[in-house]
Amino acid sequence: MEWEPAGSTILEVVPPTLDSGLEGLYSRISRVRRLVSDGDFDAVNIPEIHDEENRNDRGARTRQHSPRRQPREMGRRIQDELGLPVIINHVVSFKPLETLLDWVRDTVAGYGIGNIVLVGAPHDRKPWPGPTVAEANAAIRKEFSAQQLKIGNSCIPGREGSPIPESVRMEEKALTGADFFTTQIIYDPAEIIELRHQMVREDSPAKNCPILVSLCPVRKHENLAFLRYLGVEIPDAFEQELLALPEADCLERSLEFLRSIQTDLIESEGDPQDVAPFGWNIAPVGQIPPFSIRDLMARLPGSVRS
């Protein structure tokens, strides 16, 4: 199913837990159906969920990790039942390269999915049996053209503790086969703006790969601690502002904040001849009501509605 990353708006939906059974799967697809019914979204992005360590000393989670369904199981149903293309995320580090290639072949031929985001794991913390993201890109691209399979990689503009600039990482990934990038959830556009300017100055091939910026509404104060747990950088001023508000007002303020972030990014885009346009990954965490997602889409100046 065809999908063009440049300028698109996609909806991120976490797969249901295994213990929720088929009822959980049907419920999740029903929710997706409601959210995409207005035609605001070009595709559905499904992450692969693993139990993660706390990445921030101010982070916390309120629920224990529960194993989830494979993203491609839900993805095939969404494509078949809703007629929307899906993007499947997959961690490449956990299994050897040949196992990864078998997974990709099955995903394309068996599930009819033609868009994947390859995610890595820190090789400096632990030796993994699988390839790096760049190695995975190159091996997959030898078998599949960009017309057969779009390859996405993750982008962390403010990556901490790395001696390698993010622009250099992205250049390597673009040269080995990446077609687009998705960011982690962001609440500060400055690092993405500087990263794009840097790629233009360096004439990096990565500048031609669309970046899908991940935006996440905040409904409850506890969402902030969980986002930090995942490694999301939250400006102190924004966090303190939300914590000072009654919890019932958090969602409204966060929607306005996300609108201002997107406006800043659009205004920074510059000449479209120099760099690919942004796309948008709407990534709600927790039980954000469908009407609030529609409200956010109506406010975003770069949404497909406009």
Q: Which domain CATH number covers 189?
A: 3.20.20.220
Q: The tokens of 119 are what?
A: 């995610």
Q: Angle at Cα 214 formed by Cα 222 and Cα 161, nearest 5°?
A: 80
> 118 pairs with which residues across the strands?
90, 153
> What pLDDT, on the 0 to 100 scale, is given for residue 49?
87
Half-sphere exposure of 302 (CA within 13 A, CB side): 26
> What pLDDT, on the 0 to 100 scale, is given for residue 261?
94
Which string of b and e fits 152-183 if b means at least 16 CB within 10 Å?
Answer: bbbbbbeeeeeeeebbebbbbbbebbbbbbbb
Residue 304 belongs to a domain: no
Residue 4 belongs to a domain: no
Q: Where do we find the tokens 């295994």?
A: 18
Residue 220's CB is within 10 A of a number of other CB atoms, namely 18
Residue 260 belongs to a domain: yes
Burial, 28: exposed, middle or buried (Cβ in 10 Å; 0-12, 13-18, 19+)?
buried
Count helices and strands (H / E) in the chain: 10, 8
| CA–CA separation, 272 and 303 (whole Å) | 17
> What pLDDT, on the 0 to 100 scale, is given for residue 124?
64
Q: The tokens of 193 are what?
A: 């703006």
> What pLDDT, on the 0 to 100 scale, is given for residue 72?
96
> What pLDDT, on the 0 to 100 scale, is given for residue 44?
98
What does the H/E/C string look like for 235-265?
CHHHHHHHHHCCHHHHHHHHHHHHHHHHHHH
Q: Where do we find the tokens 């794009």?
A: 196
DSSP 155: E
> What pLDDT, on the 0 to 100 scale, is given for residue 6?
94
Q: Are 41 and 84 in contact (CB under 8 A)?
A: yes
pLDDT tens series, the chain, 306 aa: 899 999 999 999 999 999 999 999 999 999 999 999 888 899 999 999 886 665 555 656 566 667 889 999 999 999 999 999 999 999 999 999 999 999 999 999 999 999 999 999 876 667 899 999 999 999 999 999 999 999 999 999 877 767 789 999 999 999 999 999 999 999 999 999 999 999 999 999 999 999 999 999 999 998 998 898 888 999 999 999 999 999 999 999 999 999 999 999 999 887 777 899 999 999 998 778 888 888 888 888 765 444
Picking from 7, 72, 16, the residue whose alpha carbon sits closest to that of residue 44 is 72
- Three-class secondary structure of residue 154 per DSSP: strand
DSSP 8: -
Look at the chain and report how many structural domains it folds into. Answer: 1
> What pLDDT, on the 0 to 100 scale, is given for residue 151?
99
The torsion region of residue 74 among left (phi > 0), alpha (psi -120 to 50) and beta comes to: alpha
Q: Residue 188's domain spans which residues?
A: 9-299
> What pLDDT, on the 0 to 100 scale, is given for residue 50?
83
Picking from 12, 4, 7, 3, the residue whose alpha carbon sits closest to that of residue 281 is 12
Residue 200 belongs to a domain: yes
Residue 107 belongs to a domain: yes
pLDDT one-digit tens code per residue, 185-243: 999 999 999 999 999 999 999 999 999 999 999 999 989 988 988 889 999 999 999 99
DSSP 160: T
Phi and psi at 295, nearest 5°, equal -60, -45
Residue 2 belongs to a domain: no
Contacts (Cβ under 8 Å, ≥6 apart) of 44: 10, 11, 12, 13, 32, 36, 75, 78, 82, 84, 85, 86, 87
Q: Where do we find the tokens 């904040």?
A: 257
Contacts (Cβ under 8 Å, ≥6 apart) of 106: none
Residue 305 belongs to a domain: no
> What pLDDT, on the 0 to 100 scale, is given for residue 123?
62
| CA–CA separation, 31 and 198 (whole Å) | 39
pTM (2 decimals)?
0.92
Residue 75 belongs to a domain: yes
